[in-house]
């Protein structure tokens, strides 16, 4: 699917491109019963003409912001220990909590949809 959008914000051109749609159902395993919850998640890639350290998020929208490079992402998913540091707070994240499908052994992790979208975005770079 190729469809790009352009958005103007504070005199900057921002390119927003759909990456993928991911449908999630719970439970996934029919032995646990028929699916009771369903969600559709849309993933987008946004190209912003700023350096990473120039981007800030509102504290009401996110607890912290961490930038992850393509090589760091692959290290995390392969099980290598990586520490990620928050952009604007004195906060360190042990990447083990991000490894694998949620919930992982730490009851955290990322969703299968996030893994697919991130793979597609990084492969297109």
Residues 73 and 122 in one domain: yes
pLDDT digits (tens, 9 = 90+) for 1-35: 455 577 777 888 888 888 888 877 766 667 777 76
Residues 81 and 41 in one domain: no
Residues 28 and 80 in one domain: no
Residues 3 and 31 in one domain: yes
Residues 90 and 125 in one domain: yes
Residues 20 and 43 in one domain: yes
Q: Does residue 124 fall inside a structural domain?
A: yes
pLDDT digits (tens, 9 = 90+) for 61-91: 777 778 888 888 888 878 888 888 887 767 7
Model pLDDT, residue 38: 73
> Does residue 45 have a pLDDT over 70?
yes
Residues 45 and 84 in one domain: no
Residue 14 token pair: 């921002």
Q: Does residue 27 fall inside a structural domain?
A: yes
Q: Does residue 92 fall inside a structural domain?
A: yes
Whole domain around residue 35: which residue ranges?
1-49
Residues 123 and 99 in one domain: yes
Model pLDDT, residue 1: 45
Count up the domains in the chain and report the number: 2
Q: What pTM value is reported for the model?
A: 0.59
């Amino acid at each position: 699917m190729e469809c790009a959008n352009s958005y103007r914000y504070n005199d900057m051109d921002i390119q927003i491109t759909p990456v993928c749609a991911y449908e999630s159902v719970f439970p996934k395993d029919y032995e646990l019963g028929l699916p009771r919850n369903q969600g559709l998640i849309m993933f987008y890639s946004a190209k912003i003409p700023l350096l990473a350290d120039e981007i800030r998020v509102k504290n009401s929208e996110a607890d912290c912001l961490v930038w992850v490079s393509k090589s760091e992402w692959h290290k995390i998913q392969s099980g290598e220990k990586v520490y990620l540091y928050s952009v604007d707070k004195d906060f360190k994240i042990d990447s083990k909590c991000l490894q694998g499908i949620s919930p992982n052994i730490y009851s955290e992790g990322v969703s299968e949809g996030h893994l697919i979208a991130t793979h597609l975005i990084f492969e297109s770079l």
